[in-house]
Chain A
């Protein structure tokens, strides 16, 4: 597709369960970001992938959160043993880096996670 695609768009889960959120970035974009947005709040940085470099995981709130990016394209954000405070919209974004690229981020529609 032409834009960043995220799935599922909505996920309701029970406390303690694991969830996986998927992001398919724009083709050719080398940088991929995960952000979290709680109700009425700004965007909180979680993790950043750039090409083959080691990801910047400095924003992950706990070791229950992990993410991987396979083949430099699709990324999966995994939350283990979900807690109610994990409820938020998880936004994925990608950007094109390289000569002439301005670094603008293109966002997906987000995955709304509700932990009961």
Chain B
């Protein structure tokens, strides 16, 4: 059975801290791994990773994939209160682009 596991479940940091969120997976027919940020309602897309070792970067956020060890990390540097959200990791299958989601990591950034 396909499985996507995120850790930690929740995290509380202070502004300026750096955080690392983890996502490990066991899926068949892996195509890509995606990260989403969910603040209130609709998850919004952050990154799509398909190749190992190539870092994707967007401002203070970056992510990398290890297809040998079957995990990805999402780094956020110099955190801000606006980074408070649930961060969702999802694995995309070759068949039909369906996504299997992890349980999410709830990040709270305190002033």
Chain A residues in the interface with B (C-beta under 8 A):
4, 31, 33, 35, 40-45, 48, 50, 56, 89, 91, 95, 97, 102-110
Contact = CB atoms under 8 A, between A and B. Distances in A.
A105 B99 contact: yes
A41 B103 contact: yes
A28 to B, nearest CB: 15
Interface string B69-111: 0000000000000000000101010001111111110100000
Nearest to A96: B97
Chain B, interface residues (CB within 8 Å), range: 20 to 34
Interface of B: 6, 31-32, 34, 36, 41-45, 48, 88, 90, 92, 96-104, 106
B97 A42 contact: no
Q: Is the interface of B mostly helix, strand, loop or mixed?
A: strand
A89 B41 contact: yes
Nearest to B42: A107
Contact of A56 (B36, B45, B98): B98
10 contacts: A31-B96, A41-B104, A42-B6, A42-B101, A43-B90, A97-B97, A103-B32, A103-B92, A105-B99, A110-B42
B104 A95 contact: no
A43 B31 CA distance: 19
A109 B103 contact: no
B88 A40 contact: no
Contact of A103 (B97, B101, B103, B104): B97
A31 B96 CA distance: 8
A42 B88 contact: yes
Nearest to A48: B98
Contacts of A103: 31-32, 92, 97
A40 B108 CA distance: 14
Interface hub of B31, B92, B102 (most chain A Cβ within 10 A)? B92
